[in-house]
Each structure stands twice: as structure tokens, then as C-alpha cells.
Structure 1
Amino acid sequence: MSSALRAAALAAALTTVCLCQPARAQAPAQVFFDDFSYRHSGELGSGGWTPRSQTGHPGIPGAQWRSDALSLLDDAELKGNRLLRLRAATDGTGQGTQQVQLCHARKYLEGTYAARLRFRDAPSSGADGDPVIQTFYVVSPLKHDFDPEFSEIDWEYLPNGGWGSPDTRIYGISWQTVKLEPWQAFNGSHQERGSLNGWHTLMMQVLDGEVRLFIDGRQVATHGGRNYPVVPMSINFNLWFSPGGLLPASATPRVYEQDVDWVFHARNARLSPAEVAAQVAALRQAGSARVDQVPPAQPPLDSRCDF
């Protein structure tokens, strides 16, 4: 395939975003981009990523967080493209549950965030029905209950329902603060009901006291006020199971997968969905598999992967 044809194909892979607005020709001054073209998961650290290994919230008590549940693979739909795959499994018990999370540096606050992900409504093997959570989010540590500086914006897809409802749905949530035990949360949330099985582009614009949430180029919610983030956050993906709704224990584990094509952030800039698509296409056409122009927080912050 020629470079021109390949660039066109890569741009076509972004067609889940709206192209109804003019695209910006010049890239923002400070961009983070990763298209996960690594040869294997052991190279993720070279891109600034940290796999989670520490136990704890969220998910099933006693579950393990496994770095070997991350893999890189060729995209079967687009020649030359690579994908990040997250894999989680459960046999219905805490000790038989494996969850997975990947975190980037804690240095992101205002600007535009976007990622192209493939959600799945059914497990790749085993019985269907466990309350699995498939995500893309940014978060800061929760230092204590009702921490006033806690900041989080997340997308959480529940193909099998959970949290008091059997409905398939995605949440877009901007957090003020939270107490984990017993659970008491303060946030602004938006639900979109129905299946999102397949590829989708999720986006957040975080500027001027407002968090604007987009699914496939369509703005679905605006949050602000006390739910606006106030401290730098890390960029994260995770795949986990909600407590209190697993199928009965079984000798055959249920395995779920989530794929990520790329992730993008433009610091202190509001980009439209069309502009994000144009920037990602331009970066890929230029052969820029990874770009990190976002400076560390000052003073530098500990970039943990445990929440």
C-alpha cells in the first residue's frame, strides 16, 4: 500500500467522529499522542505508561491487577495498524478474578482529550452476564475521604448493566469528590443507554470551567461548577468487574477484552471532534507513532497506577 493510500485508510479509521466543522491545519503547541504501535507490552514503559499491579479499588475484593493482561496486536481491519488490548477474566470468585489497568503520567489538566476504543458486549470466551466495566478516564489520587482536590473525568461502559440497573449503557462522569466506604459520591453524570459494541471515539473538552463530553463527534453533556477538575490527572484505561453481580463460580473463566487504537491530548486547547480527527490523521501520516510535548507538572507529581 502506498503512503498516500495508507494515510487515507488511517483517516478513514477515524470516521466515528463528526467532520461537520472545519479542521484546524496547525497543531496545538503541546500535544500528547500514542497510537500503540509497540512491538509488545514490555515496550509500553518507553512511552511513559505504567501497568497496574497493586490491589484495591475498584473491582472485586481479592482480585489481581495483572500487567500480563496487556498485549499489542496487529489490527485485522487495517493493514499496518497496531492495537492495545486489555483483557480481564473471572471465574466468579475474588481470587479467580484478574483485572487490568494502564496509566500515563500525572500531568494533564485542561485541554482536549480523546481516544478511539473498541467496546465488546459479549465475552471472548465463557458465559455472558458478568457486570464488566470498560473505560477511558483521567484521575488524580484520592488522598482521603471527600478529598476537596480529587479530580476525575471518566467514560465507563457497562454492556451487562450493573450499579442497580440491568441496562446496557455508558456513563460520562465529572467528579467533585467521593467516599469509598460506605460509598458516597458527588459528581455530575450523564447516561447514554443502548449498545456501543464496536469502535467509538470518546472525547472530553476541559476548559473555562466546563467539561464537555462527546461520543463519536456528538456532544452529549456539559458539566462544571464543583465537578470541574482542579489538580493534574493521569490518563488511564482499565477493565474491571463490579462487585455484587458476578455470575456463579465456574471452572470455566469468563474473558472480556477491550481494544484501544490511539489516545490524544492537546494541552490548554479546545479542539472540535473534526480537529482532533485531523490532528491524529496528520500525526499518523507523518509517521509520528508517539508524541509527548506535555511538560511534567510543577512540582513533579508521583505518577501512581492504583486507582
Structure 2
Amino acid sequence: MSQPRRTSRRRAWTVLTLPALLCVLAACSGTPIAGEGVDAAPSASPSPSGPPGTLFDNFHYSGPEDSALAANGWQVRTGGGGPGIKDTWSADGVGFFSDPTAQGGRILQLQSSTDGTEQGTRQAEVQSTGTSLFTGTFAARVHFSDKPTSGRDGDHVVETFFPISASDSSTDYSELDYEYLPNGGWGHVGPQLDTTTWYKADPPDRVTRAHKRRLEGWHTLMVTAMDGKVTYSLDGKELFTSSGKYVPREKMDIHFSNWFIDLPFSGGPRTWDMKVNWFYYKADEAVSQADVQKAVDGFYSAGTNHIDTVPKS
């Protein structure tokens, strides 16, 4: 079951300033997936157009320092705070690489790493900015990992996709979670996928359902928040629905995150990879998985890497 949020996600966010970007360029290029290059990809379209209330991105960026990343409303997390191992968020594990298994051949990679010590741990997260997403359909094609890319298995790692309020202390706090725990955690044995709708972060008030299944590989994760209910779907099949007070109450940002619950052993260095192929949002509409994929296919066919026609008010 999802762990209560213990510390604010927002207070420790920092913007990648020029010196930090130079550091990233010099030393933080990330680790490419075997057989993949790190060639720069074309940045997103500067003047997107398309259906009203649509956000789409397929992460065709050259790296965390790509100016188009911030221009298109994405931020790489650095600095302190939780969840997981506090104060270990780093741009080191964020990269954009070629991947022949991905639609369009490009991915966002979130790589978390640890040697079993706090000082040797790095967690990775990318979020949208602007808190403009509310009701409608959220969808992402995500690759979960059941085993570390390198090193010993056994870590309690959490691979996640979720819309969330800008502040944990908001009166109308909203959060809609997918959390995959390949090795379990918080006293539960994995593999396990948690789907959770939050009403309050502190004290924790949420409804959740755990799904005991192994999910290594690519999956389309969807959250439909419409007509007083929230429905979670995996590859077109409904998993869980919440209603009543367990629905979004304010606009949210999107997060993709890869982090450790705890550090159960030392055992040398190891890395865990989570990959994101694309993200799609349609405001105020319940869109089927088939229609989501049709829209995404259309963007790829047109060579559209990014589009945002969601009203900002």
C-alpha cells in the first residue's frame, strides 16, 4: 500500500541554473541503455498547434540541459526533500536516449542508483510545471524494471507516474498514483502495483488497491478523472475506481519518479532504470486507450514531438 507522504515534494526543488547546467554537461550525462546512442534529438516544435485541451510530449530532448525541456514545461528535480532517501535527488540519472523498443525510438530514462549508503544514493524525477492539469484523461507509456540494470537485486525501489498538487499542504490537495514495487516495500512482498487516490497528504487520507503482478516491460498507464470518479487502467483494462471525496479537487502537475523506500543492504553499487516513451493528456474528456493510442500515433506520424493547447487559467 502506498506510503504516506512524509516530507514536502516541493520545498527542495531547484531550477537548473547555468552553473548547474555546465556541471550536468561536464559530468552528468547519464548511462545509456545497452546498444543505445546518446545522439542529440531534435527539440520539440517551437509553435505547436492542435486540438484544444491537449498536452503531448515524446521526450525528444538532448539532455537535462536542453533549453526546450524547460520551455516545454518540464523540470528535472535536484536538491533535497522526500520521499525515499531524503536529499538525494540528482540530474545524474536523467537522460534522453535512443531505444529501439520505444515508439519513435526515443525515451526519457530515469535511473536511480545506490551503494547502500545515503551518500552513495541518487534518485531521479522529472515533473511538469504550471499546475494546469485537472479533470480528463492522463496517459503515459512506461517501461517498468523488475531487476536492477547492474548490481545485486533486492532493493525496495518505487517506479512511479502520478499527477499531484503543487503543495502537500494545499487545502484541496489532490494526487493520483501509480507506484510499481518490483521487490515490495513497507512490509509488503512484491511485485506489486499500487493505484491510489489521495484526499490529504498529512494526515494521510487515501483509498488504494494493490495489484499483485509482475510488470517488467512496456505498459500504457491511464488515469481518467471524470464525472465524480477516478479510474485507473493498465493496457486498456480497468484496475481500480475511486469516487466520493477521492477525486481531484485542484489542478495538478505530472511526475515521473524512480526512488528507494529504504536501503536494505550495502552489497556494492547497483542501478535501476525506469523509461518513459510518451505522455498524453486530454482535458475534460474520457478518452479510451485505443483513441489515446490513435492520437499519439497521429502526433508521431506528423513529426510532432510536443504540443500544449491546455488553457493556463
Q: Does the alignment reach a TM-score above 0.5?
A: yes
User: In the alignment, which residue of structure 2 is the partner of 1:279?
Assistant: 295
1:29 is displaced (CA, Å) by: 2.5
Task: Report the RMSD for the aligned CA atoms in angstroms.
Answer: 1.6
Equivalent residue runs for 1:71-150 within 5 Å: 71-77=95-101, 81-105=105-129, 106-144=131-169, 147-150=170-173
Does 1:234 find its partner at 2:253?
Answer: yes
Contact in 1 for aligned 2:232/2:240 (Cα 8 Å):
yes
Q: Which runs of 5+ in 2 are unaligned?
A: 1-49
Contact in 1 for aligned 2:156/2:181 (Cα 8 Å):
yes
Match of 2:278 among 253, 256, 262: 262
Q: Structure 1's 82 and 143: CA in aligned 2 closer, same or farther, altered over 3 A? A: closer
Does 1:249 find its partner at 2:266?
Answer: yes
Contact in 2 for aligned 1:28/1:269 (Cα 8 Å):
no
Equivalent residue runs for 1:175-214 within 5 Å: 175-179=198-202, 184-214=203-233
Deviation string, structure 1 residues 178-208 (Cα, Å, up to 9, x no partner): 22xxxx5211112111100000000011111
Q: Which has the higher contact order (CA 8 A, sep 6+)?
A: 1
Match of 2:89 among 61, 65, 85: 65
Find the aligned partners of 1:81 and 1:194 in 2 and give their Cα distance. 27
Q: Which runs of 5+ in 1 are unaligned?
A: 1-26, 299-307
Contact in 1 for aligned 2:115/2:270 (Cα 8 Å):
yes
Q: Structure 1's 177 and 47: CA in aligned 2 closer, same or farther, altered over 3 A? A: same
Q: Structure 1's 205 and 56: CA in aligned 2 closer, same or farther, altered over 3 A? A: same
Q: Which amino acid is the alignment partner of residue 284 of structure 1?
A: Y
Find the aligned partners of 1:166 and 1:78 in 2 and give their Cα distance. 30
TM-score by length of 1: 0.81
Q: How many correspondences in the alignment?
A: 261
Find the aligned partners of 2:255 and 2:102 in 1 and give their Cα distance. 25
User: In the alignment, which residue of structure 2 is the partner of 1:36?
Assistant: 59
Contact in 2 for aligned 1:55/1:64 (Cα 8 Å):
yes
Q: Which amino acid is the alignment partner of residue 230 of structure 2?
A: V
1:54 is displaced (CA, Å) by: 2.8
Find the aligned partners of 1:192 and 1:78 in 2 and give their Cα distance. 25
User: In the alignment, which residue of structure 1 is the partner of 2:35?
Assistant: none
1:154 is displaced (CA, Å) by: 1.0
Q: Which amino acid is the alignment partner of residue 279 of structure 1?
A: A
Find the aligned partners of 2:215 and 2:304 in 1 and give their Cα distance. 29
User: In the alignment, which residue of structure 1 is the partner of 2:183?
Assistant: 160
Deviation string, structure 1 residues 57-111 (Cα, Å, up to 9, x no partner): 20013x4101121101111235852111001011112222110110102111011
Match of 2:305 among 289, 292, 303: 289
Q: Structure 1's 194 and 178: CA in aligned 2 closer, same or farther, altered over 3 A? A: same
1:262 is displaced (CA, Å) by: 0.2
Q: Which amino acid is the alignment partner of residue 166 of structure 2?
A: P
Find the aligned partners of 2:167 and 2:118 in 1 and give their Cα distance. 24
Deviation string, structure 1 residues 115-134 (Cα, Å, up to 9, x no partner): 00100000011110010000
Match of 1:219 among 234, 238, 241: 238
TM-score by length of 2: 0.80
Find the aligned partners of 1:150 and 1:78 in 2 and give their Cα distance. 34
Deviation string, structure 1 residues 13-33 (Cα, Å, up to 9, x no partner): xxxxxxxxxxxxxx8531000
Find the aligned partners of 1:39 and 1:80 in 2 and give their Cα distance. 15
User: In the alignment, which residue of structure 1 is the partner of 2:12?
Assistant: none
Contact in 1 for aligned 2:220/2:234 (Cα 8 Å):
yes
Q: Which runs of 4+ in 1 moved over 6 A?
A: none
Q: Which amino acid is the alignment partner of residue 169 of structure 1?
A: Q
1:224 is displaced (CA, Å) by: 1.2
Deviation string, structure 1 residues 222-269 (Cα, Å, up to 9, x no partner): 1111111111100110000003xx23224x211100000000000111
